[in-house]
Structure 1
Amino acid sequence: MSPKRAPSAPPALPGYDYVSLLGSGGFADVFLYQQLLPSRKVAVKVLLPDTVNRQLIENFRHEANVMAQLSTHPSIVTIYGAAVAPDGRPFLAMEYCPKPNLGVRYRRDRFSVPEVLALGVQIAGAVETAHRAGILHRDIKPANILVTAYNRPALTDFGIATSGGAEDDASGMSIPWSPPEAFLEPPGSTPASDVFSLAATLFTLLAGRTPFELPGGSNTSVDLIDRIQRGEIAPLARHDVPQRLEAVLASAMDPEPSRRHQSAMAFGRALQQVEAEMALPVTPLDVLDDSLEPEEVDEEDGGATRIRGVVSIDPHAGEAPLQQAVGGMAAAPDATIRRAPAAPAQPAPAPQAAPEQPRSKRKTVFAIVGAAVVALLGFGIVWLALTAGDEPAPQANPSQSVAPPAAPQRPAAPINVSGVVDGDSVTFTWVNPQPQGGDAFQYRYERSDADPVTAQTATESVTLERDPDGESCILVRLVRDDGRSSNDMEGCARG
């Protein structure tokens, strides 16, 4: 997107009165309209005239109908309608979100840790819902998370405007929040790629800058891509952020996709565990799954995860009523560049419950136990059973329940953490007591003359600049690929 591009002319839409321009992106403009019936303000996203062709319109209609299915999720923005304007440009009519998007907010406000955890869990549920529908977002960033009138974060811009056409490079990405595989030839994209971008977004909200942006250093696109590919995350430098949360974010932004959380739900549950450890209310993780009937609700983790049925919509039904919301687009730092499209994700399997087990909080079935007559040595004894309402409800098989996030099982901590000073550097080594595939180590190193450094490595050693005070100490913890981490172990070196 060029920030100097003049916006296109707002189309004349029957039933809508134009009010003002809300924002401009690389492929579309967003305008504020007043809908006449029902009377309400709506955001209307209109494709640019030079991007419109027959194939694009067909793909636009298809993805708009898919988005109608997804946007019933409370953390995915709501589409009211989709059609083609009289001038031939496709448009989406969406819920108007008057509050600043997170791309605007993080540059001027300091986010609290509880707020970031809560919105991270909510957006993780939205991303998991999209993945189960076979859709990758591919451009998660602060500017694409809006805030509704009820202060609920809502994910927008699933690439509708960039999904069509036979040309190459039809999809967009934003460098500061993109995973390393996005810069390959050809680019790659999996559910773990969206997990990376979501973690990078949460880091940005906490730090007030992107995770691979070096304060006071060179932060060109080439610099950022190089750091992203090498996994060089700049220190967060916030003392109120628990090390457990730093470890979860570092694991989700591992340059190797196989070492990240392998689903948005796993990442969301890792954030819930942090909430539980901080004695915060655990934010529910809502997931929509089309394997359930629409009226069914399946709750896990004591209600921490709620899986609901999704109403299926024919993707070729034309301009059916839809749901979504847009508030505006960020300027140059969030600029979208073009890249090759990625294949849609395969829907993740929904948690299955045994057919004989009742689902949590479903309608209670009241059964009446009939009278039974037992013959014993010629004497008849009649027993009248009590009603089932007086008996305890049947319990689900514990083996089919997910452990509550309040009591995560920690892996064993690294052992033999020690350091050796060599000139102006110190090399720390340690031993993984129970190695598993995907293991990584998060370390925290604080020198007397510098800010603390928190980073992650896949090896059992790290070399750093020694502390001029004469004693260099490090804290090391083991991080599993599912986000679980051990207690910290300290090692020191003198010299």
Structure 2
Amino acid sequence: MKTKRAPGEPPKLPGFEYSSLLGSGGFADVFLYDQQLPRRQVAVKVLVADANDERIRSSFRREANLMAQLSAHPAIVTIHAAAVSDDGRPFIVMEYCPKPNLGVQYKRDRFSVPEVLALGVQIAGAVESAHRVGILHRDIKPANILVTQYRRPALTDFGIATTDDGQPGGGGMSIPWSPPEAFGSPPEASAASDTFSLAATLYTLLAGRSPFELPGHSNSSLDLTRRIRSGDVTPLTRSDVPDSLRQLFEIALDPEPERRYTTALSLGHALQRIETELSLPVTTIDVFEEVDSEHRADDDDGATRVRGVIEVPDAPSASQETHAVVVGGGDRSETRGSLDETSQAAPAHPPRSPLLRRVLAGAAAAVVLLVVGAVLLTIEHDDDVDAQAPSPVTPGQGAQRPPAPIAVEATAEGDQATFTWVNPQPQAGDTYRVRVDTDLGQEAPVVVTEPQITVDLREEGATCVMVTLVREQKTESTATEGCIGE
């Protein structure tokens, strides 16, 4: 029988005063410290003293480096610094998060459908951003989604992440949320693997159990692995889950990777469409992308916010004698924490206040961040009020231009393609003018009342549509393009 390891002694770190133990895992402890300058509470993850295995130490250093690359993302925990203590233990200094992770939350709280949709969209942006810089997380699960003191989700624990430069991550997996390909020999991982785990996590928040657990039956690791490989998802019994969300889970949890959402962004857009279907505010997706300042999408009113990849600056070591492993920073003004699955603190309430989320979204819409070496392109959508700068109006009209359709996506079946999109601020009487490129050139615009259209595929090249939102007052948005094919 495995005995739980006793936590180690907190290291003495110059400029930091030890406060309390937050949690312990297999190879690391997490402690709460008071940083003296700047004065704040921080979580410090420390490798245990007897973890002399170079593979473990290398994995620990890689985790710090990978998280530092992503620290600027609002839904990923921020790394302040990392170094080696005077007694030889590597440590990572991260923002302190006093709320419990979602692994604690789902076991005691009922998550609503709107809450899960919003959480899913935000974490999808974090996962997509990691993928865009070549990082696969490989261990997305409720316990690895922390909650900031502003009640926002934050992805953490990149301990077994892999990169596209051939560097493998650490071993291990979390079976209840792992895709079938993770059980192969050798195990495989892709963007579709992470989307599987994210969907399994969202399912868990709704069901109060992982997708392949069968109440009243054996749920051993062997049982779960068999069900995951065969795609035997236990049906959701909640009556408030819409059919569209059930269909999303069917796609995202398919045992065949090519039949799933192959990008986290496409999963996020699917979640946004369900928000629109339920007349909910459309949650913004934040994604990293290198942006050419000469091609800024100033006219894009969508709910996808694109940020330049931020290079993190160097920071001092814990002492003059220690050697820095990695340092990092972020561009957020909000305080966030770094409690991973080994370090949890329990708040009185879950991170799910729609009013607070709307207030924060409104505040965020007023901030423009400029970063040296990267252009920050903000395409902001506010959940409560129109956060867009005044738009040009259609000649002869006094009303503002409505927002452009977002998340234009297409699926092909036979010789036809069905395009769908999201109206970020739906109003009564809205229609859509769609112009289609065909083999004979552009067809005359077609007006539709629903956010979808089915068109014939071109025999060669890409089939594209340009979608414009038309308000009842005859004001029009800018056009949004969607294409399928080469």
Both structures adopt the same fold (TM-score exceeding 0.5) = yes
CA-CA distance at 1:321 after TM superposition: 3.5
Within 2, Cα distance between the matches of 1:400 and 1:100? Answer: 32
Match in the other structure for 1:344: none
Is it true that 1:212 corresponds to 2:219 in the alignment?
no
Work out the number of aligned pairs and report it.
Answer: 359
What is the Cα deviation at residue 169 of structure 1? 8.6
Q: 1:160 to 1:93 in 2, by over 3 A?
A: farther
Q: Is the 8 A contact 2:23 2:31 kept in 1?
A: yes
State whether structure 2 residue 288 is matched by structure 1 residue 288.
yes
Distance 1:83 1:295 in 2: 39
Q: Are 1:17 and 2:21 matched, yes or no? A: no
Tell me the equivalent position of 1:356.
Answer: none
Using a 3 Å threshold, how does the CA distance of structure 1 residues 361 and 67 change in structure 2: closer, same or farther? closer
Distance 1:296 1:79, change over 3 A: farther
- Cα distance in 2 for residues equivalent to 1:173 and 1:59: 14
**Could you list the per-position Cα deviations for residues 149-180 of structure 1 after superposition, in whole angstroms to 9, with x for gaps in the alignment?**
101100011117999xx999932210000000
Shift of 1:310: 1.4
Does the 8 A contact of 1:60 with 1:160 survive in 2?
no
Is contact 1:293-1:310 (8 Å) kept? no
Match of 2:267 in 1: 267
Shift of 1:32: 1.0
Q: Deviations over 1:201-242 (max 9, x none)?
A: 000000011110001111011000000000001111000010
Q: Is the Cα–Cα contact under 8 Å of residues 177 and 197 in structure 1 kept in the other structure?
A: yes
- Compared with structure 1, are the counterparts of its residues 238 and 296 closer, same or farther at alpha carbon in structure 2 (3 Å cutoff)? farther
- Return the letter of the residue paired with 1:253: L
Q: What is the TM-score of this pair, normalised by structure 2?
A: 0.65
Q: RMSD in angstroms over aligned alpha carbons?
A: 4.0
- Percent identity between matched residues is 58
Whole-angstrom CA distance in 1 between matches of 2:87 and 2:118: 42
The 1:170/1:65 distance shift into structure 2, 3 A limit, reads closer
- 1:158 aligns with 158
Q: CA deviation at 1:397?
A: 12
CA contact (8 A) 1:179 1:255 kept: yes
Q: Which amino acid aligns with 1:320?
A: V
Q: What does residue range 411-430 of structure 1 map to in structure 2 within 5 Å? A: none
Structure 1 residue identity aligned to 2:452: Q
Question: 1:247-276 CA deviation, whole Å, 9 max, x = no partner?
Answer: 101210100000000100000000000000
Amino acid at match of 1:12: K
Cα distance change on mapping 1:4 and 1:398 into 2, 3 Å: closer
Check if 1:326 corresponds to 2:325: no
SS of 2:172's partner is: strand
Note closer, same or farther for the CA distance 1:223–1:314 as it changes in structure 2 (3 Å cut).
Answer: same
Secondary structure of residue in 2 paired with 1:49: coil
Contact 1:67-1:322 at 8 Å conserved across structures: no
Structure 1: segments with no counterpart, 5+ residues: 332-358, 365-389, 413-433, 435-495
Name the structure 1 match of 2:188. Answer: 188
Which secondary structure does the structure 1 equivalent of 2:422 belong to? Answer: coil
How far, CA to CA, are the matches of 1:298 and 1:3 in structure 2?
56
Q: Distance in 2 between matches of 1:168 and 1:304?
A: 34
Counterpart CA distance in 2 for 1:154 and 1:399 is: 24
Q: Under a length normalisation based on structure 1, what TM-score does the superposition of the two structures give? A: 0.64
Residue 104 of structure 2 corresponds to 104
Which shows bigger deviation, 299-308 or 280-289? 299-308
Aligned to 2:311: 312
The Cα of 1:410 is off from its aligned counterpart by: 7.6
Using the alignment, how far apart are the partners of 2:407 and 2:102 within structure 1? Answer: 38
Report SS of the residue matched to 1:118. helix
Instruction: Measure, in 2, the Cα distance between the counterparts of 1:209 and 1:183.
Output: 21
Conserved? CA contact 1:20–1:33, under 8 Å: yes
Pick closer, same or farther for the CA change 1:300–1:309 going to 2, 3 Å: farther
The 1:409–1:397 alpha-carbon spacing in structure 2 relative to 1, beyond 3 Å, is closer
Q: Give secondary structure in 2 for the equivalent of 1:193.
A: helix
Counterpart of 2:139?
Answer: 139
For each residue in 1:353-390, what CA deviation from the matched residue of structure 2 results, as whole angstroms up to 9, or x when unmatched? xxxxxx887999xxxxxxxxxxxxxxxxxxxxxxxxx9
User: How has the CA–CA distance of structure 1 residues 268 and 299 changed in structure 2, closer, same or farther, with 3 Å as cutoff?
Assistant: farther
Q: Do the aligned residues in 2 keep the contact of 1:297 with 1:308 (CA within 8 Å)? A: no
CA 1:295–1:33 in 2, change beyond 3 Å: closer, same or farther?
Answer: farther
**Distance in 2 (alpha carbons) for counterparts of 1:72 and 1:13:** 25
Shift of 1:411: 7.8
* Distance in 1, Cα, partners of 2:406 & 2:152: 34
Q: Deviations over 1:115-145 (max 9, x none)?
A: 0000100000000000001001000000000
* Structure ID, larger Rg: 1
Structure 2 equivalent of residue 302 of structure 1 = 301
Q: For the structure 1 residues 361 and 179, does the alpha-carbon distance in structure 2 shift closer, same or farther, using more than 3 Å as the test? A: closer
Amino acid at match of 1:409: Q
Counterparts of 1:471-486 in structure 2 under 5 Å?
Answer: none
Q: Residue 409 of structure 1: which of 422, 445, 452 is its match?
A: 452
Aligned to 1:125, what secondary structure does the other structure show?
helix
